[in-house]
Amino acid sequence: MIELVFAQLQRRDRSGADCVADNGICPDWIADNFDRYVTPFWEHVYLTLVSVAIGFAIAFGLALLAHRWRWLASPITQVTGIFYTLPSVAVFFLLLPLTGRGNTTAIIALVAYTLLILFRNFMAGFENVPAEARDAGRGMGLTERQLLWGVELPLALPEIMAGLRIAVTTTVGLASLAFLAGAGGLGEALFDDINFRSNVLVAGGLAIGLAVVLDLLILGLQKAVTPWTRAAAA
Amino acid sequence: MKPTRLLIALLVLVCAAVFVTACGGDDDDESSAPQAESTAASSGKIQRNDANSKVQLTIGSKNFTEQKVLGEIYAQGLEAAGYKVNKDLNLGDEKTALAAVKSDEISAYPEYTGTALLSFFGKKADQLPKDPQAAYEEAKAGFAEDGLVAFPPTPFTSSNEVAVLQQTADELGLKTISDLKGKSQDLTLYGSPECRQRLDCLLGLQQVYGLKFKKFVPVDIAQRHEVLTSGRADVSIVFTTDPQIQREKEVLLEDDQGMFPPYNSTLVMKQETADEAGADLQKTVEMLQEQLTDENMQELNARVDLDKKDPAVVAEEYLTETGLIGG
Amino acid sequence: MDSGGGRMSTTLAFLGDFGDAFDYIFNSRESQAGGARVGGTELLPLLWTHLKVTALAMAIAIAISLPIGLALGHTGRGAFAAISISNTGRAVPSVALIAFFVAFFPSTPEFWNVTVALALLAIPPILTNAYVGVRQVSRDAVDAARGMGMSGTQIVRSVEFPLALPLIFGGIRTSTVNVIATATIAPLVGVLTLGDPIISGSVHGRAGQIGASIVVAALAIAAEVILAAVQRAVTPTGIKLERGGAVGSPSRLGTLKRRIQTAP
């Protein structure tokens, strides 16, 4: 190799003890490095919202089918339940060769997990509709469709929204593992340096914070769309 | 009743919309025909050639600090040269990364000559070349058989090494790896998950040195120093460019039976991708690597591992401090 | 644009992988790159660690949450606390909790860091279900017991606890399944459970990843079945009869409702 004169990088003086070297909780470091968490945070938000949205749509469709044809309820529950016994980590890795690294793989796995939660809450919601309400509706001459959309779904809303809350918080948790499928997220930030306390605190804190905020948002939404439950409680 | 009905319809509509958007756009650009002649080399600064923007590259890396820094350097440097660059760093171990190149998940990643010889091309310890250039030539020949091109290597070498804490070395009188003979059966070794099957890791220690350890615990490679300092590991496998060696006063045991080959880094890419990317690619890569000496690589690793800076930020610092990118 | 053929062969390969996975479970083999033995009997230490971590985590969780849940339910105070714990518990990603212990307690053996983290994860469903279970006990039964002169603790032990058992067991079953699933990520921090083949695919191969997943799933199902049987055995006959049939198999949705409070 030819002898070349290489430019040397500035060597930093690391002899002094400082917060980062002592593996502490360092506000200065957090302030300086906070923008590293921005992209993972929004990746996490994206994964959560998209997965729950798709899961909600699919579960809703399945619930309508099971509502129409009762015998479907059990098989659907079985199939969605199978996804539940598989460890989430496994689903990420097993899908990799089929769908490649990236968001698609993660979202498919996350959607599969939400299906059981959302589907059974839809069905529980339907089950909870008082028979009198249905009878009253039929008595008023409503068609099956009008009954479904006008009576049953609104009355099932509390259970549906409760399921949505559980699905969202669960998905935030699972999305922390999405980095194993190459989809980024706060889990990636966490494992970037799992020994550094400041990093664990920020990455973990953001994930918890996200779950809490989304949970409260849906709770607020639930209270808004079911005013009669508020009246009952009051 | 009506507002709630509307709300449900809206919810489903929103879900559907999100669904459509999510499935909307994951297509990569196709890279097209070769472009104009590369511009003449100038005084150490990367020149942007707009003709390169037709080429889409995805730079990958393995799952530890040095790899992430290297990946960022290549990605940012090639972007400065005008290429369209995506990043997919932190893929996993060497086998995962190679599979990613072969399956076109990524265009290129930095591999080490020694790792390639042992993990990909099945060389035995006694067949390993001692000279870094010879190691590179052999690795390059091996890759060529798979239709891959290995670009000229970096100046720095980052070897696997067996490390113990100073007090362990003093207590047991350890200077070389052979000194572990007769003592290793009471010691716990920590290494990466793939260490179990690598000839430059546990497998090599078993076969070349005949060592048996009390226990081998696989951990994430990022923990390789933490396990020593916390006392969980008696022995750990580390890299010679690790800044923690100096700080924690670790002792690297001498490889007296020569199980570790040279480990210069070389960018590995499919031959077709390299051809399509044109002459600027090799030129830029060589410019980027020129200043990656042992000291500089250690300094960059230290900025990430000790100062806890983001590899992307550190790579940018490297590019500006060496004048590769106009500051 | 013919990716149909490619996907077909991938699917077929995937199905073929299942056969290989079963072989992995029962026969040991060379690792992907050679040099180490994996699969078959090599899985037993992983299984043992997995069971140890689960059992200890559950024991700790039950020991903590059961008394507190029963006490809160009995006195009727702390509804807000019980519900909040359940909600916040769901919001904490398991990975974050394990990472927290690894980062903040580096000198503790990683086995205990993981076990305690899993125990914390297991607490919310048991706590909430114990609380709700006791609240649900009919006031008449409690009043009758008080009329008979039973003290508070006696009431809890002889009346409220047995009547709350179905829900409590539901919580325990949920937690156990969650812990079994979450223990698969323990290898990321050095505790070798059945998650190791799943995460280290380049050592164990596809067969290992699929095989280990099947074993974990089977473990979860077995835990469910065994705990359901224990629940049946332990529930007083009177309650079994009152609920008309074996406790633990009310409406399918009821079972599911109790099952899913959190997730791995």
- Cβ atoms of B215 and B186 within 8 Å: the answer is no
- For residue B81, what are its two tokens? 């040269």
Q: Looking at the complex, does the CB of residue C237 fall below 8 Å from at least one CB of chain B?
A: no
Contacts of C220 in chain A (CB under 8 A): 85
**Nearest CB partner across the interface for B217, out of C34, C190, C202:** C190
CA distance A231 to chain B (A): 15
- For residue A191, what are its two tokens? 């494992």
Looking at A206-220, B66-80, B85-99, C3-17, which range is the least confident one? C3-17
Q: How far apart are CA A122 and CA A168, in angstroms?
A: 15
Kindly determine whether residue A123 and residue C253, on different chains, have CB atoms separated by under 8 Å: yes
**Nearest CB partner across the interface for C107, out of B196, B223, B230:** B230
pLDDT of C243 higher than 60: no
**Nearest CB partner across the interface for B95, out of C106, C109, C202:** C202
Mean pLDDT over C53-58 rounds to 97
**Running DSSP on this structure, what letter comes out for residue B308?**
-
Q: For C183-200, where are the alpha helices, taking DSSP H only? A: 195-199
Computed over every residue of chain A, the mean pLDDT equals 88
> Percentage of chain C surpassing pLDDT 90?
32
Q: How far apart are CA C186 and CA C67, in angstroms?
A: 28
Report the Cα–Cα distance between both ends of chain C, in Å, rounded: 39
**ipTM score for this prediction:** 0.84
pLDDT of B6 higher than 70: no
Pick the closest to residue B15 from A161, A51, A226, A148 (CA basis): A51
- For residue B36, what are its two tokens? 């104009």
Kindly determine whether residue C109 and residue B232, on different chains, have CB atoms separated by under 8 Å: yes
- For residue A106, what are its two tokens? 């993660």
State which residue of chain B sits closest to C204, comparing Cα positions.
Answer: B194
Question: pTM for the full model?
Answer: 0.85
Show the CA angle centred on residue B287, arms to residues B286 and B288, nearest 5°: 90
Residue C233's pLDDT band (boundaries 50, 70, 90)?
confident
- H or E segment at B84? strand B84-88
Q: Looking at the complex, does the CB of residue A36 fall below 8 Å from at least one CB of chain C?
A: no
Residue B17's pLDDT band (boundaries 50, 70, 90)?
low
The CA-based dihedral angle spanning residues B9, B11, B17, B22, taken in that order and rounded to the nearest 10 degrees: -150
Q: How far apart are CA C121 and CA C95, in angstroms?
A: 10
Residue A185's pLDDT band (boundaries 50, 70, 90)?
very high
Contacts of A198 in chain B (CB under 8 A): 308
| A55-71 pLDDT per residue, tens | 999 999 999 999 889 89
Kindly determine whether residue C190 and residue B223, on different chains, have CB atoms separated by under 8 Å: yes
3-state DSSP of C153-179 = HHHHHHHHHHHHHHHHHHHHHHHHHHH
- Chain pair A-C, CB pairs under 8 angstroms: 146
What values do phi and psi take at A34, rounded to 5? -60, -30
What values do phi and psi take at C252, rounded to 5? -50, -45
Q: How far apart are CA C46 and CA C52, in angstroms?
A: 10
Q: For B52-191, where are the alpha helices, taking DSSP H only? A: 65-80, 94-102, 113-115, 132-145, 166-172
Q: How far apart are CA A63 and CA A77, in angstroms?
A: 10
What values do phi and psi take at B192, rounded to 5? -70, 165
- Cβ atoms of C189 and C51 within 8 Å: the answer is no
Kindly determine whether residue C263 and residue A176, on different chains, have CB atoms separated by under 8 Å: no
- Cβ atoms of B301 and B65 within 8 Å: the answer is yes
Q: How far apart are CA A125 and CA A67, in angstroms?
A: 11
Q: Radius of gyration over alpha carbons of chain B, in Å?
A: 23
Q: DSSP letters of C102-153? A: HHH-TTS-HHHHHHHHHHHHHHHHHHHHHHHHHHTS-HHHHHHHHHTT--HH
**Residue B217: C-alpha distances to residues B90, B149, B274, C192, C206 (Å):** 22, 35, 40, 8, 22
Contacts of C202 in chain B (CB under 8 A): 92-93, 95-96, 193-194
Report the Cα–Cα distance between both ends of chain A, in Å, rounded: 83
What values do phi and psi take at B189, rounded to 5? -110, 130
Q: Strands B160-165 and B235-239: what pairing?
A: antiparallel
Kindly determine whether residue A172 and residue C91, on different chains, have CB atoms separated by under 8 Å: yes
What's residue B30's pLDDT? Answer: 38
Q: Looking at the complex, does the CB of residue C202 fall below 8 Å from at least one CB of chain B?
A: yes
| B292-308 pLDDT per residue, tens | 999 999 999 999 999 99
Mean pLDDT over C187-211 rounds to 90
**Nearest CB partner across the interface for B4, out of A9, A54, A225:** A225
Kindly determine whether residue A53 and residue B309, on different chains, have CB atoms separated by under 8 Å: no
Q: How far apart are CA A177 and CA A229, in angstroms?
A: 37
Q: Radius of gyration over alpha carbons of chain A, in Å?
A: 24
Pick the closest to residue C101 from C113, C112, C115 (CA basis): C113
What's residue A230's pLDDT? Answer: 64
Chains that touch B (3 or more CB pairs under 8 A): A, C
**Residue C32: C-alpha distances to residues B119, B234, B267, B273, C39 (Å):** 11, 27, 24, 28, 11
| C139-149 pLDDT per residue, tens | 888 888 888 88
Q: Pick B30 or C63 by higher pLDDT.
A: C63
- Cβ atoms of C180 and C173 within 8 Å: the answer is no
Q: DSSP letters of B185-234? A: GG-EEEE-GGGGG-TTTHHHHHHTS----SEEEE--GGGTTHHHHTTS-S
Residue C135's pLDDT band (boundaries 50, 70, 90)?
confident
Q: How far apart are CA B232 and CA B119, in angstroms?
A: 28
Q: How far is CA B104 from the centre of its chain?
A: 18
Kindly determine whether residue B218 and residue C189, on different chains, have CB atoms separated by under 8 Å: no
CB half-sphere exposure, B270, CA atoms < 13 A: 16
What's residue A96's pLDDT? Answer: 86
pLDDT of B41 higher than 80: no
- Cβ atoms of A175 and A106 within 8 Å: the answer is yes
- For residue B195, what are its two tokens? 């260490």
Q: DSSP letters of chain A? A: ----PPPPPPPP---S--TTTTT---HHHHHHHGGGGHHHHHHHHHHHHHHHHHHHHHHHHHHHHHHHSGGGHHHHHHHHHHHHHS-HHHHHHHHHHHH-SSHHHHHHHHHHHHHHHHHHHHHHHHHHS-HHHHHHHHHTT--HHHHIIIIIHHHHHHHHHHHHHHHHHHHHHHHTTGGGGT--SHHHHHHHTTT-HHHHHHHHHHHHHHHHHHHHHHHHHHHHH-HHHHHHH-
Under DSSP, is residue B43 helix (H, G, I), strand (E, B) or coil?
coil
Looking at A7-21, A197-211, B299-313, C101-115, which range is the least confident one? A7-21
Let me know how many helices (H) and strands (E) chain C has, helices first: 12, 2
Under DSSP, is residue B270 helix (H, G, I), strand (E, B) or coil?
strand
Chains that touch A (3 or more CB pairs under 8 A): B, C
Q: Looking at the complex, does the CB of residue B222 fall below 8 Å from at least one CB of chain C?
A: no
Q: How far apart are CA B59 and CA A199, in angstroms?
A: 25
Contacts of B63 in chain C (CB under 8 A): none
- Cβ atoms of B242 and B111 within 8 Å: the answer is no
Q: How far apart are CA A229 and CA C86, in angstroms?
A: 21
| Strand order through the sheet with B160-165 | B215-218, B188-191, B235-239, B160-165, B250-253
Q: Looking at the complex, does the CB of residue C32 fall below 8 Å from at least one CB of chain B?
A: yes
What values do phi and psi take at B268, rounded to 5? -110, 135
Kindly determine whether residue C203 and residue B193, on different chains, have CB atoms separated by under 8 Å: yes
State which residue of chain A sits closest to C94, comparing Cα positions.
Answer: A173
State which residue of chain C sits closest to B203, comparing Cα positions.
Answer: C35
Identity of residue C132: V
- For residue C194, what are its two tokens? 């059945």
State which residue of chain A sits closest to B155, comparing Cα positions.
Answer: A1
**Running DSSP on this structure, what letter comes out for residue B120?**
I
**Nearest CB partner across the interface for C91, out of A77, A169, A177:** A169
pLDDT of C262 higher than 70: no
Under DSSP, is residue B127 helix (H, G, I), strand (E, B) or coil?
helix
Residue A172's pLDDT band (boundaries 50, 70, 90)?
very high
Q: Looking at the complex, does the CB of residue B11 fall below 8 Å from at least one CB of chain A?
A: yes
